[in-house]
Amino acid sequence: MHDSKVRSRLKAQLTKFCTELCGGLSKPLGKFVAEMLFGIQSSQDVKLSNIGRTLGEAIPLIRTEKRLSRNLKHAELEAELTTKLVEMASARIQQDTVLALDLSDIRKEYAQKMEHLATVWDGSSGETHPGYWLVDVTGAEVHGSEIVPVCQKLFSTKAKEFRSENAEILAVVDQANHHLEGRGIWTMDRGCDRKKLLEPLLDKHLRFVIRSTGERTVRDRRGRLRSVAEVALGCRLRHQACVVRIDKGQEKTYQLHYGAEPIHLVGRPEPLWLVVIAGFGEQPIVLVTNLKLRARDSESLWWAARIYWTRWKIEETFRFVKQSYNLEDIRVMKYQRLKNLVVLVTAAAYFAASYLGQQMKLRILAEKLLVISQRFFGIPPFRFYALADGIRRLLSGSAFRPPQESPPDAQLELALIWSA
């Protein structure tokens, strides 16, 4: 298939996606969203000047920028697009799909006039930086390779409507669960080991696997008050496993020992488990979960461990969204525009990683994109970057002129080279 035909098919699919995504918006805003998604994909950037250049309008670029900025201020964009994206993504979330919730940030080291610019904390370096917080939810199967961006929200601790970080996280959980109806297993890192998150998750009857800091006081099997670290230290690691993990392109083999201990949160009746896995480092990984496990059943404990490790696979998508679309170079000044642009980037990521990659009859298209991207595929996570690069290379060769007709087969099937 020639590049021109592939490009035409790709633009048709982008048009179809925008039509589904913008069903609740006015026609002018729907057209604006289509332009923005075309521009973000074809420039792999979030700067309005670069997006404007890809549109190829026969007017001065500054006028295109001003028009895009003017449309970007509408508050209904965030609400409508986020709701629709969650609805679309929910169809791909099964009962045991891992839902990784990540709290990350966008750093703006040299910004001074961006509205509600706050301070964010880098846990790896122990430093603070100017910027904004991001709550991201992404789905993935334990035994699969498909990644589904569900939703992403930017917030600032300086905004008037800000109540607390916990409230922001729970609002995202509630919005996603409204469409998921209890499907999925929520997985979070140590930063979310908080009573004000654990108890609401239990109240909502949501299943979760959360890595513990070890500091929480719990009741052990005998009803004694002890820290999680103390209970984990006394856990019998009766099961063994050997795993191979790809880290920075290198395979590394780990000999693991694991086990589990029943616990209760103080003041709560729900039975929980501590799953303890030793062998990845000096300190064991300790997980708190309300999944139904059995301490002597190695398979059920291994399943809980793999649910958490699926989060490591999903972390590549967090980086994919930031790096492929240059998200940290976001430069709009107003808070609502910042939030809307993050939602549009999430929509672009969903199109590239899930919507496009799930169409069976787009196999030829996907193969062509992977060839065009000129990437090496020895390491599976590169497929996301490669696909984004392939889309950019195709779309950058044309101006924004959506096809007049949808593809001949509107119900395109779902499969890519890597889902085989």
- 323-380, pLDDT tens digit by residue? 888 888 899 999 999 999 999 999 999 998 888 755 533 543 556 666 666 554 434 4
Domains of the chain: 3-71+359-419 (no CATH), 79-321 (3.90.350.10)
pLDDT at site 250: 75
Count the alpha carbons within 13 Å of 226 in the hemisphere toward its beta carbon.
Answer: 18
Which sign, positive or negative, has the C-alpha torsion 353, 354, 358, 361? negative
Q: What's the pTM value of the predicted model, to 2 decimals?
A: 0.88
Give the span between the Cα atoms of 97 and 101, in whole angstroms. 13
Give the span between the Cα atoms of 325 and 319, in whole angstroms. 10
pLDDT at site 418: 29
Which H or E run includes 251?
Answer: strand 250-265
- Does 414 score more than 50 pLDDT? no
Residue 137's closest CA among 112, 163, 103, 108? 103
pLDDT at site 415: 30
The pLDDT of 52-66, averaged and rounded, is 93
The residue written with tokens 């690691």 in the block is 237
Between these two residues, 396 and 68, which has the higher pLDDT value?
A: 68
Residues 6+ apart with CB under 8 A from 8: 403
pLDDT at site 419: 33
Between these two residues, 51 and 367, which has the higher pLDDT value?
A: 51
pLDDT at site 249: 66
pLDDT at site 298: 93
Q: What stretches of 132-289 show up as alpha helix (H) in DSSP?
A: 165-180, 195-203, 228-233
Which sign, positive or negative, has the C-alpha torsion 51, 57, 58, 59? negative
- 288-327, pLDDT tens digit by residue? 999 999 989 999 999 999 999 898 878 766 777 788 888 8
